[in-house]
Amino acid sequence: MTWRELSAERFNSIKAKVIVDVRSPCEFVSEFIPGAVNIPLLSDDERAEVGKVYKEQGEFRARRLALGIVAPRIPEIVDRIIASKKENHTLVVHCWRGGMRSEAVVSFLSLMGVDCWRLTGGYKAWRRCVMDDFEADSYPFRVVVLDGLTGVGKTEVLKELEAIGMDVLDLEAIANHRGSIFGGIGLAEQPTQKNFDGYLWERLRTFSGDFVFVEAESRKIGSVRLPEFLMERIKDRSGIRILLESSLSCRVERISRDYHLLDHKEALLDLLGRVRIFKERLGHEKIKGLSDALQENRGEDFIESMLRDYYDPLYSRHIRRRTDYDLTVCSDDPVASAAAIKEWCLDRADSAALIKPDNKTAPR
């Protein structure tokens, strides 16, 4: 049985597949196809050594070294790939650009009678498809943007909308960051930009409804950037925008519950002392008061002060400048808010233009 080539376009059309990435671990961590498993031919150190020999002694010597390293463990590599197979799934092997590494592995598998494909052009070709899709922006859905002050529960409402069957794009979940200066507190490391793009692309392909709900985001979420087409959709004034409002007490309680700030006092104190914008906007006395609140375990006082003195003045100007919100909903109860939003959208789904209603405020 011989292996076959598979273009990136055909690869993307196959839903049931097992993806084996044979690059070194450090390559895989920095950029991978979502769902791929890493079964490397060479370790990071071995790859570096082969690269050094290639530069200093030429291609033949480098290939000879790589062969000597890989040959003894070919059976183990083949066994691991066979173990990763799933019934009725297409087995696809790739490296960075469809070169020697993936060709060697599919050749081993073919000798063992294993049906497999090699991704033509490797990860590089797949990445090009992702970027081309972002550039084309041919996604048929309309974006519904949830806006509001810090702590109004935009993420909670998104989760409730998803729970009642609506298409939701939770960008902060994909980015593993809550979007503010404090957004990484208590969370694991963010994905790389390329991996964020990959997860986002994969999520966008799952949507089938008329609307996709998303939170109003800035261009960057922590260290990752939104693609230009999505940023334009979020900013588009002809799109659908919903303003969430919530009482200060609910916002404080929600942030306290979600962030567990007192478990991360040292990181917070470091940010307060290091981030220049806090000093410029708040001044020495307020910074001291915030630090004292943390030191004295008055977490809710810290949150309320940050909302009143920093976040609300910052974002209120943005909200006041917009006069085109299609709907305003109280989000103290995220379940009720999601239900009201869903009803409002479905009531207007028959209109291709989604004409704005006369009464823009949902019952509270």
H/E stretch holding 20 reads strand 17-21
Q: Cα–Cα distance between 321 and 152 in angstroms, integer?
A: 19
Contacts of 68 (CB under 8 A, 6+ apart): none
Q: Cα–Cα distance between 322 and 336 in angstroms, integer?
A: 25
Give the DSSP letter of residue 120.
T
Contacts of 103 (CB under 8 A, 6+ apart): 118
- To the query of whether residue 95 is one of the catalytic residues in this protein, the response is yes
User: Contact, 126 vs 32, CB < 8 A?
Assistant: no
Q: Which structure tokens are listed for 30?
A: 């920095």
Question: Taking phi first (over 0 means left), then psi (-120 to 50 degrees means alpha), and beta for anything else, what does residue 111 get?
Answer: alpha
Q: Cα–Cα distance between 190 and 200 in angstroms, integer?
A: 14
**Which CA distances in Å does 54 have to 48, 61, 122?**
10, 7, 21
- Could you identify the residue written with the tokens 């002050």? 149
Q: Cα–Cα distance between 351 and 354 in angstroms, integer?
A: 5
SS3 category, 149: coil
Contacts of 125 (CB under 8 A, 6+ apart): 7, 8, 97, 98, 119
Catalytic residue among 26, 95, 330, 345: 95
Which residues are catalytic, by number? 95
